[in-house]
A and B are shown apart, each in its own frame.
Chain A
Amino acid sequence: MISIHSVVFFILTLLLAPALPGIINKVKAFFGGKMGPPVLQLYYDIAKLMRKSAAYSQTASMVTRLAPVVIFFSTLGAALLVPFFFSEACCRFAGDVILMAYLLGIGRFFMVIAAMDRGSAFEGMGASREVLYSALAEPAFFCGLLVLINETGDLSLSGIFSGLSTELWRQNPAIMLLIAVSWMIVLLTENARIPVDDPNTHLELTMIHEVMILDYSSKDLGLIEYASALKLWLFSSLLVGLTITAGAVPSYLHIPVFMLGMCAVAVIIGCVESTIARLRLIHIPKFIVGSGALAIIALILKIAGN
């Protein structure tokens, strides 16, 4: 059932995931006219964090200590189900996408309750925003997905993404473009990127994701940072699979084309982050609901086209 290919690609993913934020930072540094940190910076950071010992707040309970492990394994579990390098995922079954979304969901649940565990004003603030924005992003993701299911006739992520082809883009360019844009917004929302959240902001009041992990240090922080990078990789690879499509790439070019695609997503994120400012908080829900509206338009076009 599990092919050697998918296992190799899964391990490759686990190894390469932390490089993605590095590329984004390089692009941002380029726009800022700076050298920027090396692409492998996150590897060094995680390696350093893993050697340190942790400091916990006296308010923190067991939840704070348990959450990083849950976040790490939930992201890892989700990665088992996502197809990488235009190949099959390690595990495919009808409805695996639901398990993927909900595994990420339990990671988020623990992130949020851990943030509330320390009793900090700022972490609660981040938690309250995170739950709202992620809830609003769900319909956009699922609406896009069901159009793809309708196109490919398969219920598993691997089946859907191996069924996509350039033919589909030629026939329904509007629908596919709408889904791609709405998933890009979902990616930015889920991974706490500008314009929804600013990973580099210096004011706790305006953060979302970063503020929830303010109290983490050492191995805990390392696990969370790694999980965040992996999650970014997951969403980016869904976007690459949607836009480049497995049918368009001959099998011997799978690895290089996929890597180029991932770099392209990172460059786009970097460009977005360098050219637009973070939205004001009251505008963020409108932005996310907008992505849902795009996906719903795609669905309506699909229904009308039938």
Chain B
Amino acid sequence: MQQFVTAILVITVGGLLAWLTGRLKSLSVVIGTGSCVGGGLLALIPATEILMSGGQAAEIVLNLPLGAATMKLDAVSAFFSLPVIVLGSLAAVYAAATSHYDKHECGGYWFFYCLLMASMLFLTASANAVLFLMAWEIMSVAAFFLIIHRDEIASARNAAWRFLVASHVGTAGLFIMFAIISAHCGSFEFACFTRTPVSAETASLVFFLALFGFGVKVGLLPLHVWMPDSYAFADAHVSAVLSGAMSKMGFYGLIRVLMFLPVHSASWGWALAFGGLLTGVFALITALAQHDLKKVIAYSSMENAGIIMMGLGCAILAGIWKVPALAFAALTGSLLHVLNHAACKGLLFLGSGAAYFGTGTRKLEAMGGLAKTMPYTAMFFGIGAAAISGLPPFNSFISEFMIFLAGLQAARLGTSSALLLAGVILAGLGLIGGLAMATFSRTFGLVFLGASRSDKKVEPRESDWLVRLPMAILVLVIFLLALLSPFILIPVARVASMIAAASGVTFTPENAMLNIQPVMIAATISFFFMLFVVLVWRLRSRFFSGGDVNDRCTWDCGFAAPDARIQYTSSSFSQPVSEVFSSIVRPYRHGEKVAGFFPERASFRTDAPDSLLRYLYVPLFGLIDRAMVPLRALQHGRLHLYICYLAIVLLALLIWKVVAA
């Protein structure tokens, strides 16, 4: 525990030093990176120790002016600190390696980056509502300053403000939620929350407030609108941390709250299962219509949050139905998906950043053919794309497989509600998997394959080895998570049983074996599949490629001079999907029609803003804005009148106090 706190301090102090030395850019970068990596390594040791042993670290009690506050690192916190540590350190290295592209002042940027990482570690370790909310606020504010880094771009400013508003609306829900629980037990300590019995109505109120508050961070369906723009306008390494680590803190919070409430209600499970399904499908349909590389990846974060939520919902329902084997598969699967998604998403964002530095654009319509000029980045991104689509032999397949397995077990249970749940999981995950495959084959194909659509004459260059190193490590992590999954599942199962134990569900070793055995076979088959593919492919190109010619032109219906312009574009690729789901995503169409026999010029472009933003939030906030106009009379900018307001309120409170007494 001391080591973990030291790590947090190292990162924070490193951030401060990086800020102070901001004038000397290279020194500031070295201090910032060094503190993130060093602090990360320092925190990694106690976290893995706790995960491996299953024990608990000693608590630290801080004597704050508000009262004593406990910091504690248990298996659940240690588990959720892993993505923060790994992605935070790797993204810091990446940031250092790409810092010469950034012409902005870098000291403050490093400070907020370190603050973000430190606050997330602090968040996982806080076992007190006040500490938790403090860490939560620091995390949100640090993230805001990181997103608004390129504040000369109006869209980046808008994105950051939207993030700040959404984040605070969510935090308001959390304040109310923690106030309700602590009012019941009279303390802000988490240890006290778990012991306090609450009525079923209060428990439901607490759960749905938590779902709202944490749902904003994870990107639950109507609350996701800040996500695509913020991830798109932040730098690649920041997006990687925001998506891979920060949004996972939402799940951490949600799971903590579930552990406070011993008796769960079926409505929570259904809310999570259906909410997750709708989130996943909506995210992918919208992702398929996007033309900004990073927005596609951002929407996919939302989709994966949907998958994790479906798993959690299934686990809650299984706990209520007293089917531990089913709960085990669902809970372990969704926990493992947290790690898998962090690894894939980190890799994809870092890869998208490398593609951006190579080409100078994020527009899918202006990319293409990068596999020839940036072969390593292409290979890394390709692995990430296949992995995040949940395809074997990569890591996300294993976690999705476990959630699928939960669905299959639910189908066997036989009750009507279990069949419905199985239908939601199997059909829903099947559709989500298919659409994810569509999204990422499109993205990878448009960016890295084919011929370049860019009209620039400069060839993109492969990035430096230091930029590629974090990506290579993440690829390694992906393979380890996939091939060693039966072993990795053991500590994950320990975390899962700790979560389940809070609501009175105990997992027996048989439950675990029942679910881990299929994973083991699936991982083995995947491994041999990969082995055979690589082997035969090498053999084919080494010994059976005699006489092959590599200089023919692509077959285009007999047209002998194909060029990059006749390729399928991102708009054309997504047109059939947008057509089918036209009630959900409605792309704007811009351009001039083709007219006459010898058309001179014509153009076509689509643009698909988020439907909920367009049809719900913009009208809604417009309405609120108009309704609030009269209140502007109160806000006139005269300081002495503001002080007068304060005096009036205090006086009113005093009178109320006296009268009430």
Which A residues contact B (CB, under 8 angstroms)? 53-63, 65-66, 69-70, 72-74, 77, 80, 91, 93-99, 101-103, 105-106, 108-109, 112-113, 115-125, 127-129, 131-132, 134-139, 141-143, 145-147, 149-150, 153-155, 204, 214-215, 218-219, 281-282, 285, 292, 296, 299, 302-304, 306
* 20 contacting pairs across A/B (C-beta < 8 A): A56-B552, A58-B550, A59-B553, A63-B382, A74-B529, A94-B405, A94-B517, A96-B521, A103-B392, A105-B391, A117-B445, A118-B554, A119-B564, A119-B566, A120-B554, A127-B573, A128-B568, A136-B580, A146-B422, A219-B540
Do B573 and A146 have beta carbons less than 8 Å apart? no
B233 is an interface residue with CB less than 8 A from chain A? no
Q: What's the nearest-Cβ distance from chain B to residue A13, in Å?
A: 17
Q: What's the nearest-Cβ distance from chain A to residue B441, in Å?
A: 4
Given A54-B548, A118-B555, A215-B555: 16 more A-B contacts, CB < 8 Å: A53-B548, A56-B549, A66-B533, A91-B521, A95-B401, A98-B405, A102-B392, A113-B444, A120-B554, A128-B573, A129-B576, A135-B438, A137-B434, A138-B433, A218-B548, A299-B423
Q: What's the nearest-Cβ distance from chain A to residue B138, in Å?
A: 41
Do A70 and B567 have beta carbons less than 8 Å apart? no
Chain B residue at minimum C-beta to C-beta distance from A128: B573
Do A61 and B449 have beta carbons less than 8 Å apart? yes
On chain B, the residues within 8 Å of A108 by CB distance are 437
B556 is an interface residue with CB less than 8 A from chain A? yes
A202 to B207, CA, bound (A): 59
Do A128 and B572 have beta carbons less than 8 Å apart? yes
Do B426 and A145 have beta carbons less than 8 Å apart? yes
Which B residues contact A (CB, under 8 angstroms)? 368-369, 371-372, 375, 378, 382, 386, 389-392, 397, 401, 404-405, 407-409, 411-412, 414-416, 419-420, 422-423, 426-431, 433-435, 437-438, 440-442, 444-446, 449-451, 514, 517-518, 521-522, 525-526, 529, 532-533, 536-537, 540-541, 544-557, 562, 564, 566-568, 572-577, 579-580
Do A113 and B445 have beta carbons less than 8 Å apart? yes
Do B371 and A62 have beta carbons less than 8 Å apart? yes
Do B419 and A215 have beta carbons less than 8 Å apart? no
Chain A residue at minimum C-beta to C-beta distance from B449: A117
On chain B, the residues within 8 Å of A109 by CB distance are 386, 389, 391, 437, 440-441
Given A54-B548, A136-B434, check contact A122 B557 (CB 8 Å). Answer: yes
On chain A, the residues within 8 Å of B529 by CB distance are 73-74, 77, 103
Choose among A58, A119, A135, A150 the residue that contacts B551 (Cβ–Cβ < 8 A). Answer: A58
Do B426 and A146 have beta carbons less than 8 Å apart? yes
Chain B residue at minimum C-beta to C-beta distance from A140: B427
Choose among A91, A127, A215 the residue that contacts B554 (Cβ–Cβ < 8 A). Answer: A215
A58 to B552, CA, bound (A): 6
On chain B, the residues within 8 Å of A304 by CB distance are 416
Do A65 and B541 have beta carbons less than 8 Å apart? yes
On chain B, the residues within 8 Å of A129 by CB distance are 576
- Chain A interface, >50% SS class: helix
Do A285 and B580 have beta carbons less than 8 Å apart? yes
Given A73-B533, A121-B567, check contact A80 B435 (CB 8 Å). Answer: no
Chain A residue at minimum C-beta to C-beta distance from B531: A73
On chain B, the residues within 8 Å of A302 by CB distance are 419
On chain B, the residues within 8 Å of A55 by CB distance are 548-549, 552
Choose among A74, A91, A119 the residue that contacts B368 (Cβ–Cβ < 8 A). Answer: A119
On chain B, the residues within 8 Å of A306 by CB distance are 414-416, 419
On chain A, the residues within 8 Å of B576 by CB distance are 128-129, 132, 281, 285
Instruction: Identify which of B408, B422, B557 gathers the most chain A CB atoms within 10 Å of its CB.
Output: B408
Q: What's the nearest-Cβ distance from chain A to residue B367, in Å?
A: 12
Choose among B404, B419, B450 the residue that contacts A117 (Cβ–Cβ < 8 A). Answer: B450
A56 to B551, CA, bound (A): 7
A214 to B556, CA, bound (A): 9
Choose among A119, A139, A149 the residue that contacts B431 (Cβ–Cβ < 8 A). Answer: A139
A137 to B438, CA, bound (A): 13
Chain A residue at minimum C-beta to C-beta distance from B577: A132
On chain B, the residues within 8 Å of A132 by CB distance are 438, 576-577, 580
Q: What's the nearest-Cβ distance from chain B to residue A178, in Å?
A: 14
Q: What's the nearest-Cβ distance from chain A to residue B330, in Å?
A: 13
Instruction: Identify which of B414, B415, B426, B573 gathers the most chain A CB atoms within 10 Å of its CB.
Output: B426
Q: What's the nearest-Cβ distance from chain A to residue B283, in Å?
A: 14
Do A95 and B573 have beta carbons less than 8 Å apart? no
Chain A residue at minimum C-beta to C-beta distance from B580: A285
Do A98 and B404 have beta carbons less than 8 Å apart? yes
Do B437 and A135 have beta carbons less than 8 Å apart? yes
Choose among A56, A97, A143, A215 the residue that contacts B550 (Cβ–Cβ < 8 A). Answer: A56
Do B553 and A58 have beta carbons less than 8 Å apart? yes
On chain B, the residues within 8 Å of A127 by CB distance are 441, 445, 568, 573
A302 to B537, CA, bound (A): 46
A54 to B547, CA, bound (A): 7
Q: What's the nearest-Cβ distance from chain A to residue B587, in Å?
A: 15
